Amino acid sequence: MFENLSERLGGVFDRLTKQGALSEADVETALREVRVALLEADVSLPVARDFVNAVKKKATGQAVTKSVTPGQQVVKIVHDELVHVLSGDGPADALKIDNPPATILMVGLQGSGKTTTTAKLAKRLKEKNGKRVLMASLDTNRPAAMEQLAILGTQIGVDTLPIVKGEKAPQIAKRAKTQAAMGGYDVLFLDTAGRLHIDEVLMDEVQAVRDIASPRETLLVVDGLTGQDAVNVATEFDGKVGISGVVLTRMDGDGRGGAALSMRAVTGKPIRFVGLGEKMDAIETFEPERVAGRILGMGDIVALVEKARETFEAEQAERMMKRFQKGLFNMNDLKAQLEQMLKMGGMQGLMGMLPGMGKMAKQAEEAGFDDRMLRRQIALINSMTKKERANPDLLAASRKKRIAAGAGLDVAELNRLLKQHKQMAEMMKKMGKGGMMKQAIKQMM
Ligand code: GDP
């Protein structure tokens, strides 16, 4: 699913990744293409516009990290925004099926996949949650639809309400409720009738059924291939009946995946499941992270960001190495080192990688040199001015007091840090001269 949108956006980012720096014009161009890609994927205009604006705002406000490629940076921002739009207010919870029998009302247009989805969900609840499920078809206009549900029920081993000719939908709903309660069922699915288009009669009937059934969930099933229409249908149903979530079907087709984006943004209703085929197992919960990854067509976005981070660290290490070789080691270097140590599993982890330092790491730990200490030291360096960091010898007693207070710590701790810095600076100088530092850093990376 989402192939088209993926390909379009993929092309935009390919071009971006090949450039050196992210100029404002680049952002503009890239985002224009993102907007076109979204519109072609049938994302509604206001949603596409809002989306692009949000990305632009974030991209412009963000300092360009030198070592991350512009493409990676924009991809990350676009990804995060996609997740944001797709998740809405928060994660879509599992179906509410407490207080048995919990009624789940299935609504939607004819042919949207309502009956299929009803059976798929029933099977899931039975197999994954060990629930006893009853299904009832209320489609009195189409006896074939009632038959279809009964056949699916037999196929998946889920009970269906016996068909009684001549009953109206609200009557069937009432009988199904009674049957579910008496039969000790946990969940009751009511598969309502669909029409080809939304009309008054249909809505009146669904409302009547809703009032009788008092459902815990009202799930709207919409065909994901219908794009913008799906969003309009959702808006209509939500206004007239009130829905608690959406199931997007046919997301296995090569459709324009924009429906998912617009659906969330326009209706504010969570997409709970996506249908991925005709088979009874072809349904998945809707995962914004995963869908955003698919829309971008960039595979595992986490891996991408990881890669960006590595690039950053390698560059930083190189920069530091050059300084050390010159025998330079100020407070900023110490801070970068401390942060690096935290990332690499603390003092123990870092020292373990340096030849002959295992014993020193142990001693350091015994002396209370742990991650909390690293964080305290970083806080101290953060409360120094730029000048002081470059040359800590400048620090007068009054400034030391202020700095320690700024970090919420003792002056004694600051003095220890300064002493430690001095020792390390000395060591760096010596190692730098002997070319040992280069080797050590290479090992660390
Ligand atoms: P209803 O009229 O809304 O009850 O629709 P049905 O459940 O009868 O589904 C109509 C057709 O769509 C059937 O042939 C289903 O097998 C098919 N269908 C339903 N969901 C999906 C889906 O997620 N993917 C695909 N490819 N087909 C689906």
Query: What integer pLDDT is reported at residue 440 of this predicted model?
Result: 55
- pTM value is 0.65
Each residue's pLDDT tens digit, 180-192: 999 999 999 999 9
pLDDT bucket at 22, cuts 50 / 70 / 90? low
Long-range contacts of 277-286 (CB under 8 A, 24+ apart): 277/252, 278/116, 280/119, 280/120, 280/123, 280/152, 280/155, 280/156, 281/120, 281/123, 282/120, 282/252, 283/117, 283/120, 283/121, 283/124, 283/247, 285/92, 285/94, 286/86, 286/92, 286/248, 286/260
- Helices (H) and strands (E) counted in the chain, each on its own, are 20, 8
pLDDT bucket at 197, cuts 50 / 70 / 90? confident
Question: 297 versus 145: which is more confidently predicted?
Answer: 145
Query: What integer pLDDT is reported at residue 312 of this predicted model?
Result: 61
Ligand 1 site, residue 110, Cβ cutoff 6 A: yes
Ligand 1 site, residue 112, Cβ cutoff 6 A: yes
Q: In what order do the strands lie in the sheet with 133-137?
A: 159-160, 133-137, 187-191, 102-107, 217-223, 245-249, 271-275, 283-285
Percent of the chain residues topping a pLDDT of 90: 29
Q: Of all protein residues, whose CA lies closest to atom 12 belonging to ligand 1?
A: 113
Mutate which of 116, 118, 281 for ligand 1 pocket (most atoms within 8 A of beta carbon) = 116
C-alpha pair distances (Å), 129 with each of 94, 123, 133: 11, 10, 11
Ligand 1 site, residue 224, Cβ cutoff 6 A: no
Judging by beta carbons within 10 Å of its beta carbon (0-12, 13-18, 19+), is residue 66 exposed, middle or buried?
exposed
pLDDT bucket at 158, cuts 50 / 70 / 90? very high
Each residue's pLDDT tens digit, 292-335: 766 665 444 444 444 555 666 666 677 777 777 777 788 888 88
Strands (E) located in 151-308: 159-160, 187-191, 217-223, 245-249, 271-275, 283-285
Ligand 1 site, residue 116, Cβ cutoff 6 A: yes
Structure tokens at 169: 């939908």
Q: What is the mean pLDDT of residues 426-440?
A: 64
Cα-to-centroid distance, 114 and ligand 1 (Å): 7
Q: Of all protein residues, whose CA lies closest to atom 25 belonging to ligand 1?
A: 277
C-alpha pair distances (Å), 14 with each of 6, 11, 281, 291: 12, 5, 36, 20
Strand partners, 220: 107, 246
Strand partners, 189: 104, 135
Percent of the chain residues topping a pLDDT of 70: 73
Ligand 1 site, residue 118, Cβ cutoff 6 A: no
Ordered structural domains, the chain, with CATH: 3-90 (1.20.120.140), 102-288 (3.40.50.300), 303-444 (1.10.260.30)
DSSP state of 92: P
pLDDT bucket at 264, cuts 50 / 70 / 90? confident
Query: What integer pLDDT is reported at residue 228 of this predicted model?
Result: 76
Supply the ipTM of this predicted assembly. Answer: 0.98
Closest atom of ligand 1 relative to the 139 alpha carbon: 4
| Residue found by looking up tokens 């996506």 in the block | 274
Query: At residue 80, does pLDDT exceed 80?
Result: yes
Query: At residue 376, does pLDDT exceed 60?
Result: yes
Q: What is the mean pLDDT of residues 11-26?
A: 62
Query: At residue 347, does pLDDT exceed 80?
Result: no
Residues annotated within a binding site for GTP? 108-115, 191-195, 249-252
Each residue's pLDDT tens digit, 279-296: 999 998 888 877 776 666
C-alpha pair distances (Å), 208 with each of 109, 169, 301, 359: 17, 9, 46, 77
Query: At residue 367, does pLDDT exceed 80?
Result: no
C-alpha pair distances (Å), 140 with each of 29, 172, 205, 220: 54, 9, 11, 19
Judging by beta carbons within 10 Å of its beta carbon (0-12, 13-18, 19+), is residue 240 exposed, middle or buried?
middle
Ligand 1 site, residue 249, Cβ cutoff 6 A: yes
Q: What is the mean pLDDT of the chain?
A: 79
Ligand 1 site, residue 111, Cβ cutoff 6 A: yes
Question: 407 versus 116: which is more confidently predicted?
Answer: 116
Q: Of all protein residues, whose CA lies closest to atom 26 belonging to ligand 1?
A: 277
Structure tokens at 356: 């002959």
Top mean-pLDDT range of 281-295, 355-369, 383-397 = 383-397
Please, are residues 222 and 109 in contact by the beta-carbon 8 Å criterion? yes
Q: What is the mean pLDDT of residues 199-207?
A: 88
Ligand 1 site, residue 255, Cβ cutoff 6 A: no
Q: What is the mean pLDDT of residues 360-365?
A: 60
C-alpha pair distances (Å), 111 with each of 107, 221, 225: 11, 10, 12
Ligand 1 site, residue 194, Cβ cutoff 6 A: yes
Alpha carbons within 13 angstroms on the beta-carbon side of residue 367 total 11
Q: Of all protein residues, whose CA lies closest to atom 11 belonging to ligand 1?
A: 113
Q: Of all protein residues, whose CA lies closest to atom 6 belonging to ligand 1?
A: 113
Which string of b and e fits 161-190 if b means at least 16 CB within 10 Å?
Answer: beeeeeeebbebbeebbebbeeeebbbbbb
Cα-to-centroid distance, 327 and ligand 1 (Å): 71
